[in-house]
Structure formats: C-alpha cells, structure tokens
Structure 1
Amino acid sequence: MRKFTGLLLAICAPAFFIQTALAQEEKTALVPLPSLDDFTRGEDGWGFGLGLGVEYESAYEGSDEFDFEVSPAGAVQWRKGDDIFFWAGEVLGWRGLRSDTWLLQASVGFEEGREEGDSDDGRLDGLGDTDEGVEFVLQARRAFDADWRYWLDGRIVTGETGNLGIVGVGRRFGERNDGTGSELSIAAVFHDSDLANEQFGVDPTQAAASGLDETELSGGFRSIGVNYNYRAYINDNWQIFGEALYERYSSDIADSPITRNNYEAEVGVGFIYVF
C-alpha cells in the first residue's frame, strides 16, 4: 500500500503531456481509472505494456530511511468483453466489470518479506528476516454512476503471514475514458494480530538479540492513507504514469520500537510502451 500531489503534478503533468494526451484518439478502458492499467485499447484480445518505474520510498514498514528503487512496469493482458486476465510481474489475476458500476478483481501474488539488511543504519539487526509467501487478494469497487467519477472500494488480502482489510473512497479527475487523467483516494486499513506482530512486533528471542523492548500487538485499525495516481499518453504508444502515497499509522503501530516514523510514504514516476 503502497505518494504528495503537488510534487507529482509538477513532475508528471507539464503542458506538453496534457496537449498530446488530448490529441489522442479515445480508447475506452475497461474502467476509466488511472490506478488500473488497461493495455487492450478497448478491444478483445491481447494487450502488452512494458516499461520502467523509479520510486522513492520507505526502506521498510515504519522506517525513517528512504531509498530509490528501479523496477519494471507493465503487464500482459487478455481481454474478452468486460473481463481482463493479467500477468504483472509477480501477480496473476482477473478483473471484471459488472452492470457498469461494479468492478470485481481477484489475484494471487508473491509477497516479499523484510530482511535485516533493509536498514542501512542497522536498525533491524537482531530481528531476523520475516517470511516471504503467497498472498491472495479479493477486491470490489462500486461506482456511484457509470462514468466512475466517485467510487467505493473494499479489499481483503490474505496470506501466510496474516490478513489485511482495506475500505476506501475515491474520486476520478479528467473527462477521458481511456484510463488517463488523475485519481485521488482515501482508505482505512485494518490487520489481524498475526500480520501486526509479523511486521511490528518483537518476540522474546528478537528482543534478546536486538535490544529492543518485547512488543506484542493486537489486531484492529492499522492506518489511514491517501493515494494519488496519474496517467497520460505522450503519443499513441508511450504512457507516463505517477503515484504518491502517504499512510499514517495508528498509535499502537507508531509506538512499536520497530517503527521509526509514524508514517510510510512513497512517490514514483515511470514510462510504459503499449504495443
């Protein structure tokens, strides 16, 4: 869950991009939300997008260290009517539009764990590495009308390390239906005790090895977050995208000795070539 609207607009939305985007022929996306890429150009069959993104983000959950990370972007997609099957990096999934105002999505992916080496300052020394594993995501979005100007979002993430729930509301800006424009959402995040302790707890063994106070957390409210997405066509094949995230932790998470900041933040920008 992983973004500072003003900075992102300054980076991603100069007049050149806006003018060229407006010059594009309209290509209807499955759902016209910038946060959901659709490379099928509104047609049944295969869609491909390949690119690169650069993110400046917290080194780990609760970290006060920030790092740049370069990662591939894009996906392989296959569309049939109001359904898209996709493979994006370590995620395989499906999303489908129902009754013009319901978007359902299911996916399975690989969740990386935390490593002691994620902290260059040695603040994770003695805590060991947290588990990696497979996670499943079920999501439903409900628009207030068919143009997806306003929408509600519910998401359940379950995996070997615990469970996460997200409830949010969003607003789409822009008039085009090709998935370009910008989008702002606010979400409340909840987790169970297993995930809370996996990420922010300190068991007796870890406390002895790290010198941190032993900490056991219960499940419940985790954070409130604000997320901003931007997407535009530079020409018929090239897209520019950006994202910014700010997540404010609850007092229980902020009081954990692992948490050096009471928030997590990320800002990123990238390019994708749509075949």
Structure 2
Amino acid sequence: MKKFISLLLIVFIHGCFLQTALAQEERKALVPLPSADDFSRGKDGWSFGLGLGIEYETAYEGSDEFGFEVDPAGAVQWRRGDDIFFWAGEALGWRGLRADTWLLEALVGFDEGREESDSKKGYLDGLGDNDEGFELVLQARRAFDADWRYWLVGRVVTGGNGNLGLFGVGRRFGDKVDGSGSEINLVVVYHDSKFANKDFGINAQQAAASGLNETSLGGGIRSFGINYDYRYFINDNWRIFGEVLYEHFTSDVRASPIARSNYEAEVGVGILYVF
C-alpha cells in the first residue's frame, strides 16, 4: 500500500510539473522582453489586445512644461512561428526572431510633428507647426544568450525630416518567458543636422516672427538616455504595463532657445485586455 501511495504521489507531482511546463511553453513569448508586446500566448494566428494608458510627459522636445495625456493602447497581431506582424496605433510593422539571439524589427509609423499650441505658455509662438510625415524605423537587438538576459540594441529612424540613430545595452529582470517582468536600457542617441533642426533649429523667418535667435545645429550626439519597461500579468487576459523614460540633452542641443530644459522625461502606466 505504501508503495502504491508513493507511486500515486510521484505520478501526481510529475503531472503537475508537466502541466506547468506545458502551460509555460504555450505562453512563451517570441522573446521574453516586456518592451516587445506579444499577445499570441505562443500560438500561431491572430491575437488582439486593447486597453488604455495615461502618460505624464514633456509637452514637446526640450520643453519645461509637463502634462497628462490619455491614449488607447494595444495592437492587432498575427504570428507565424518566429515572426509577428502587427498594427499598433499609428504604426504598421513586423518583428522576427532569428537564431534565438537576434530580434529584428521594421515598421512604418506616423510622426504628428509639433504645433505652436503645444506650449501653453507661448514659447513656440512664431515658430509655426512642424510638418507631419511617415517614418521608417529599423531596429535590431542581439542577445548574449538565448534567455535574453543582456543584449545590444541599435535603431535607425529615417524619413522626410531627417535621420536619427540609437545604440545601447539592455538588461532583463525576472525569470518568466511569457513577456512579463521588467527591463532597462541605456542608450546614446545621434541625429543628423536635418533632424536636429526639425526640433531645435530656428531659421531667419522663424527668428523674425518669434523674437528668438536664429539657430542652426549640426549632426552628432543628441542625448544620453535610460528607459525602464514593466509588464505584469494579472491573469490570462488582463495585463498591467508601465514605462519610465529620461533623456538628457547634450550641450549643442541645450544651446538652442527652444530647449528650455536639459532633459525630456515621461512616465506612463496602463492596462490591457488580451482577447
């Protein structure tokens, strides 16, 4: 009898571990990174997440004014193996995992530009509105091993308003492979002269209308930044997310009259329902 009971206990414990392992495998994300949304639960086909986020952020690049903004959150995704195609807000893109340690991503997004009214104190009066337009974003992350504990990241943003590049290192916290947990990235941001002057340049016409000094920037290092992403899964459907971002501008950028602050910052939280 004792042997029979022991055998039942062994079968029960083995079954529990097997179910846990299968459940974890079913919920395995493309990569276990909180910043890479994956609603697929490890399965091929369509998936959909919908929610709401609230952000407290600077009003525009270089602003010393802060405000709250409420935005919809989520995406429509289609997964096939190690590839996910997605539509998230104003972005349409693809990300794919290669050789377990390369995460590649390409998307087309919409840049809403900057408006004079973004400054409630009138600091942008006379500068006019920046042009809206589409941007192409290409990103690659190279992990040091398959568990994605540490990685290198590179990103290029290009469009009609110039080019921006980013290079940095990242670290993941937590042991789950479903995309929950947290991560932190340290980055250096570069821009060319066209992109720099889009945000911080003042031409002769703008100088005459605004009373600010005419300013022209060259390309180079734009800023040093740090960002933190967090994901918590309440259950199989409900998820909480959060993000903190800090970007410190270099002296060339801070010399522009538009840069009324030495940094840009953002804090955001939200909730998602995954169907």
Q: Calculate the TM-score normalised by the size of structure 2.
A: 0.91
Distance 2:109 2:197 in 1: 21
Structure 2 counterpart of 1:17: none
Distance 2:68 2:140 in 1: 32
Q: How do 1:1-20 residues align onto structure 2 when only pairs under 5 Å count?
A: none
Structure 2 counterpart of 1:159: 159
Matching residue's letter, 1:271: I
Q: How do 1:1-275 residues align onto structure 2 when only pairs under 5 Å count?
A: 25-26=23-24, 27-275=27-275
Distance 1:255 1:271 in 2: 39
Distance 2:250 2:57 in 1: 20
1:55 is paired with a residue whose SS is strand
Structure 1 unaligned regions, length at least 5: 1-21
Distance 1:236 1:198 in 2: 43
Q: Report deviation, 1:57.
A: 0.1
Distance 2:210 2:218 in 1: 22
Q: Deviations over 1:89-137 (max 9, x none)?
A: 1100000000000011110011110000000000000000011000001
2:252 is paired with a residue whose SS is helix
2:195 is paired with a residue whose SS is helix
1:176 is paired with a residue whose SS is coil
Matching residue's letter, 1:66: F
Q: Report deviation, 1:236.
A: 1.4
1:169 is paired with a residue whose SS is strand
Structure 2 unaligned regions, length at least 5: 1-19
Distance 1:245 1:107 in 2: 21
Distance 1:112 1:42 in 2: 34
Runs of 4+ in 1 over 6 A off after TM superposition: none
In our comparison, the structure showing a higher alpha carbon Rg is: 2
**Number of residue pairs matched by the alignment:** 252
Q: Deviations over 1:36-81 (max 9, x none)?
A: 1100110000110000000000000000000100000000000000
Distance 2:49 2:223 in 1: 32
Q: Report deviation, 1:235.
A: 1.4
Distance 2:198 2:61 in 1: 11
Distance 1:255 1:194 in 2: 17
Matching residue's letter, 2:113: G
2:207 is paired with a residue whose SS is helix
Distance 1:94 1:77 in 2: 9
Distance 2:265 2:36 in 1: 20
Matching residue's letter, 1:130: N
Q: Calculate the TM-score normalised by the size of structure 1.
A: 0.91
Distance 2:67 2:131 in 1: 22
Distance 2:118 2:69 in 1: 12
Distance 1:109 1:259 in 2: 25
2:68 is paired with a residue whose SS is strand
Q: Deviations over 1:174-226 (max 9, x none)?
A: 00000000000000000000010111001000000000011000001000000
Distance 2:185 2:110 in 1: 25
Distance 2:92 2:168 in 1: 23
Higher relative contact order (CA 8 A, sep 6+): 1
